[in-house]
Amino acid sequence: MSSEILIKQGLDLPMEGAPGDSIREVRPQSTISVFPSEYSKLKFKLQVSEGDTVSRGGALAIRKDLPDFALRSPVAGIIKSIVLGERRSLQEIVIEPNGSEDSERFDVYTVEGLLGLSRDEVLNGLIRSGLLALIRQRPFNRIADPSLKPKSIFVNGMKSAPFRPDPAVLVRGKEAELQAGLNALTRLSDGPVHLNLAKDQAPGPLTSAKNVQSNYFEGPHPAGNTSTHIHHLDPILPGDTVWTLRISDVLRIGEFLLNGVYPQEQITMLAGSGVKEEMRGYVRSISGTPLSEIFDGALEEGEQRIIRGDALSGEAVTLESGLFLYDQGFVVLNEDRERELLGWYAPTTEIYSAHKVVPSNWIKDKLFKFTTSSRGSHRALVLTGIYDKYVPLNIMVDPLSRACIAKDAEEAIALGILETEPEDFALCTFVCPSKTDFGAMVAETLEQIEQEGF
């Protein structure tokens, strides 16, 4: 069974700096790190100390609330240092690879064999390996709780935001891993596993995947956002749970189950006008590689902002960080503090606008160099009714934002906030003339609801 869904609301930003589709290798030069800080809401108990030797897949720390869940080392080596943050929270475990082939062994399965497993068998493997962290749960987009059974599972095989990695590049030559991962997912829920693809997805491993319900979405961003998929296929009702993954997560899980060793390879996209043109593309490296090595020689001159995730809903990071387990791409943009004379009314054709009042909006098929400039100062929220055009969900953005400002969680839930994620409102933030951060408002209210319960 498959369905085709046309998305009308949204906007594709004509952004310069799209990634090419070549993959280059970056071997770690010195150390690699595991970042417990990546999981801000989880607490860990350290299992190693400085100077210890670990094998590939060796447990570094275990979750306090789920001791079977271990953070594992992607390489064999020696613990070089352990970085603690505020209140002795575990931030980073630095490992110096020692070149040993030592590896922890896990159960090995065949692609077809996975279909015969029970839910608990699959879950145990994912929990023990720590790869359960790749499965997210909605509402609230947290790491999946294995004690809950999702009504359905959503795999996102799209890339509509500027920029996210092309799933077709990620699955190249990995048909078996993809199918193995999907087969494992079918064991986790009684409902279907939805594989959501772009309507124009070229035939390949993605379109020929089996045992899933393939759905095809057509339209502008956020046609590729998971909320959009859930809303149109199996909306979240109060009390519902769904699990969500990305193609890179499915591949990682598939690789782990087929080989029985902890996967270390990670493919990351580098894109944006702040990355040199010839370096825009994909990097094959090992989880935890320092970003300074990933970006070695890749950045353009001048002050650049490195964004973990995409330009609309990512996190600014520095080169001191490393490759998180959940990373699949970075966008680099020029940090733009340039001031322009009478720029607030100059009829510019160089700076993109979604509003017809700026001539740049009238030019079709032109790519613009986007920067981090805020393009104006923050003001009271004045315009109304323009935001619904950018949210393809049955959500009224103006009343929802007012409920968020008023901290009225009950009203926000009635208006459908539990179906959304902050990233769904990124385009509203982009177009807002008053420079209001809708995503932050929604994030804060979701946080409030999660803490208070509903």
- By CB under 8 A, the residues from 302 to 321 that bind other proteins are 305, 307, 309, 311-316
Q: Are 228 and 426 in contact (CB under 8 A)?
A: no
In the bound state with other proteins, the residue whose beta carbon lies nearer, of 43 and 149, is: 149
- Tokens representing 170 are 């990620």
In the bound state with other proteins, the residue whose beta carbon lies nearer, of 38 and 335, is: 335
Residues 154-173: x where in contact with other proteins by CB under 8 A, - otherwise, as a string: --------x-----------
User: By rule CB under 8 A, what count of residues binds other proteins?
Assistant: 75
- Tokens representing 20 are 């090419």
Q: Whole-number minimum distance, CB 309 to other proteins, in Å?
A: 8
Residues 423-452 that bind other proteins (CB under 8 A): 423, 426, 429-435, 437, 439-440
Residues 221-260 that bind other proteins (CB under 8 A): 234-235, 237
Tokens 């973990």 appear where? 308
Tokens 């080989």 appear where? 259
- Tokens representing 343 are 């720029």
Q: Whole-number minimum distance, CB 95 to other proteins, in Å?
A: 30
d(CA 295, CA 288): 13
Residue 112 DSSP one-character state: T
Residues 323-382 that bind other proteins (CB under 8 A): 331, 333, 335-345, 348, 351-358, 360, 370-377, 379-382
Q: How far is CA 244 from the centre of its chain?
A: 11
**304-308 and 329-334 strand pairing:** antiparallel
Tokens 């990546």 appear where? 38
Residues 14-33 that bind other proteins (CB under 8 A): 15
Q: Whole-number minimum distance, CB 310 to other proteins, in Å?
A: 9
Q: Whole-number minimum distance, CB 449 to other proteins, in Å?
A: 16
Q: Long-range pairs for 359-368 at CB < 8 Å and ≥24 separation?
A: 365/14, 366/14, 367/14, 367/15, 367/16, 368/14, 368/15, 368/16
Residues 43-62 that bind other proteins (CB under 8 A): none
Which of 15, 28, 12 minimizes the C-alpha distance to 331?
A: 15
Stretch that binds other proteins, among 30-38, 47-55, 97-105, 394-402 (CB under 8 A): 394-402
Confirm or reject binding of residue 92 to other proteins (CB under 8 A): no
Q: Whole-number minimum distance, CB 451 to other proteins, in Å?
A: 20
